[in-house]
Amino acid sequence: MAGAAVWPGGARAGVPGWRAFGVASPRTGVFQRPLPIPAQATGTLDAAGVRHYQIAARPGSSELVAGVQTPTWSYNGAWLGPTLRIPRHQPVQLHVHNGLDQPTTLHWHGAQVPGRMDGGPHSVITPGDTWTAAYTLTQPAATLWYHPHPHAYTGPQVYAGMAGMLWIDDDTDARLGLPRTYGIDDLPVAIQDRRLDADGRLAYMTAARDVMGMKGDRFLVNGVEQPYAEVAAGWLRLRVLNASNSRVVNLAFRDGRRFYVIAGDASLLAEPVPMEQLLLAPAERAQILVDLRGDYGRRVVLASDSGAAVPGLYRTPMDVDAHDRRGFDLLELRVGPALALGTRLPAQLVEQPSLTPDGPTRRFVMAGMIASGAFGHLQAGHGYAPRAANGPGGMSAGVGDRNLFAINGEYMDMDKINVRVQRGATEVWQVTNVSLMAHPFHMHGTSFLIRSRDGKAPPPHERSWKDVVLVRGGETVELVARFDHPADAAHAYMYHCHILEHEDNGMMGQFVVT
């Protein structure tokens, strides 16, 4: 593991208890509240063999920080909505009711479904209405998630609390002997950062720099600031989702211990990959196994060693805050007695995926306002104008009134189809980032393989099926994907930066598959 980070213009610093971390975490040792485990939703089976799920978006309040009730929006009444357990090859219908006072959508992030069921910006659910998505997931078992995707309002609605996990289940976990007891040795871990005002309300887009990506100073796991989980002395599986609007996290344990990455966004890997740090961009997921067999009675802290990720990731001071230069705690594991669960770390997992391109190579250039010089009005201190709409507790629910980020020199236009793909084709998408900051690139409706990073093979932990890839400033990443599901102009798929404030401010395009 790398040593203490050096930030340009600053001194190298090390704090006892932070092995190889640059600077002590803010609010270190908060761990006073248990980790919430979202309810599992397994649906109800009808006579035709279709499984039905009920999801309701509605306002409420959440105790994100101990002793403070914060007005929020959520699914089924919880900050992190229920974990949807969907069996592979099982036809399902998901009934989504909008109990908010503004339109929304619900996107199944990572799900390979037709465009009309994808829940993108065209599938608007007006207040009081219910939308039904019907599909069958045939892709490999994976940890996906769901969140709103309304045009220009994705950032504020996700920030208000609207997100949840979706797990595709099959018999692979049992066959491999992986930890699989929900909430015991198989834990959902959704990481988010939020900023609260003096009254405990969510503060959104309150500073000019927030347009670079909304970041907070309270670090939540499953909706609670730095909680603890009581776990057994054995193999523990953490299904980690970076559900932050814009913050990149660099997962590491404070004692420097090794862990094993077994899955990326949309599938298991071919074999476990030992690591001591793991970078996750917004919307990326990873499954890791950590060996706690010899840790009975100990406390093990999962954190973000963000300072170690600074070199090569942030190249302008507008991209970073103090927490990006340091590290922060996320979750404390309190290790109790062993349980006879019979789980293990397999030497091999699943067959390595592969694709052979037979379609065109397409090029996508991601550019931000700094590269185009359009950031001057904010640098000059003229502020930032939110749209006129409200979120929970009076939170500003809009992001801006101008396009600031682009792909191929084009801003998001709901009436324009940017790319047309032939159904069944396998294409190479070459994504180049010419801006100074890193951008996580996401495409809807399919999964991809990372073919190369700047002409080099991807690292072993990035060789699963994926749907998000972090592209650093100046970097070119080649992706290969097969497009098997239809999407027409009325319900097009999106490709976009998954920094939500960038997506809402133009860094998104549309494609159809016909």
Q: Which residue has the tokens 């999962």?
A: 302
> With bands split at pLDDT 50, 70 and 90, how would you rate the model's confidence at 382?
very low
Could you give phi then psi for residue 177, rounded to 5 degrees? 75, 25
The CATH class for the domain spanning 361-513 reads mainly beta
Q: Which of 8-12, 38-42, 381-385 has the highest mean pLDDT?
A: 38-42
With bands split at pLDDT 50, 70 and 90, how would you rate the model's confidence at 29? low
CATH of 183-336 among 3.40.50.300, 3.20.20.70, 1.10.760.10, 2.60.40.420 = 2.60.40.420
In contact, 222 and 228? CB cutoff 8 Å:
no
- DSSP letters of 245-277? SS--EEEEETT---EEEEE-SSSEEEEEEEES-
Task: Look at residue 18 and tell me whether its pLDDT is greater than 70.
Answer: no
- Residue 348: pLDDT above 80? yes
Residue whose C-alpha is closest to residue 432's, from 466, 448, 455: 455
**What's the distance, CA 153 to chain centroid?**
17
| 61, containing H or E segment | strand 51-65
What is the pLDDT, as a whole number, of residue 438? 94
pLDDT in tens, 119-168: 999 999 999 999 999 999 999 999 999 999 999 999 999 999 999 999 99
**How many degrees, rounded to 5, is the angle at CA 262 between CA 261 and CA 268?**
140
Torsion sign across C-alpha atoms 216, 222, 228, 232? negative
Q: What is the pLDDT of residue 80?
A: 96
Q: What is the mean pLDDT of the chain?
A: 89
What pLDDT band is residue 390 in, cutting at 50, 70 and 90? low
Predicted structure pTM score = 0.92
Q: How many CB atoms lie within 10 A of CB 272?
A: 22
pLDDT band at 209 (very low <50, low <70, confident <90, very high): confident
Residue 415 CB partners (closer than 8 Å, separation 6+): none
**What are 124's two structure tokens?**
């608007």
Would you mind telling me the total number of residues written for the chain in this entry?
514
Mean of the pLDDT values across residues 369-393?
Answer: 43
Query: Running DSSP on this structure, what letter comes out for residue 316?
Result: S
pLDDT digits (tens, 9 = 90+) for 223-272: 999 999 999 999 999 999 999 999 999 999 999 999 999 999 999 999 99
Confidence label for 355 from pLDDT (cuts 50, 70 and 90): very high
Quote the pLDDT of residue 396. Answer: 56
- Say what the pLDDT of residue 10 is: 26
Q: Would you say residue 25 has pLDDT above 80?
A: no
Q: What is the DSSP string of 439-489?
A: EEEEESSS-EEEEEETTBPPPGGG-S-BSEEEE-TT-EEEEEEE--S-B-G
d(CA 392, CA 70): 9
Q: Are strands 419-421 and 224-225 parallel, antiparallel or unpaired?
A: unpaired
- The ranges of the chain annotated as CATH 2.60.40.420 are 40-175, 183-336, 361-513
Residue-level pLDDT at 22 = 38
d(CA 436, CA 29): 34
Nearest CA to 267 among 136, 139, 129, 145?
139
Cα(63)–Cα(223) distance, rounded to whole angstroms?
A: 8
Cα–Cα distance measured from residue 76 to residue 62, given in angstroms and rounded to the nearest whole number: 13
- Flag whether pLDDT at 16 surpasses 70: no
Mean pLDDT of 404-411: 94
pLDDT (mean) for 322-343: 95
Q: Is 176 left (phi over 0), alpha (psi -120 to 50) or beta?
A: alpha
Count CB neighbours of 215 within 10 A: 22
pLDDT in tens, 211-233: 899 999 999 999 999 999 999 99
> What's the CATH number of domain 40-175, 1.10.10.10, 2.60.40.420, 3.40.50.920, 3.50.50.60?
2.60.40.420
Strand partners, 340: none
Overall average pLDDT of the 441-456 stretch? 98
Specify the DSSP element, H or E, that contains 236: strand 235-242
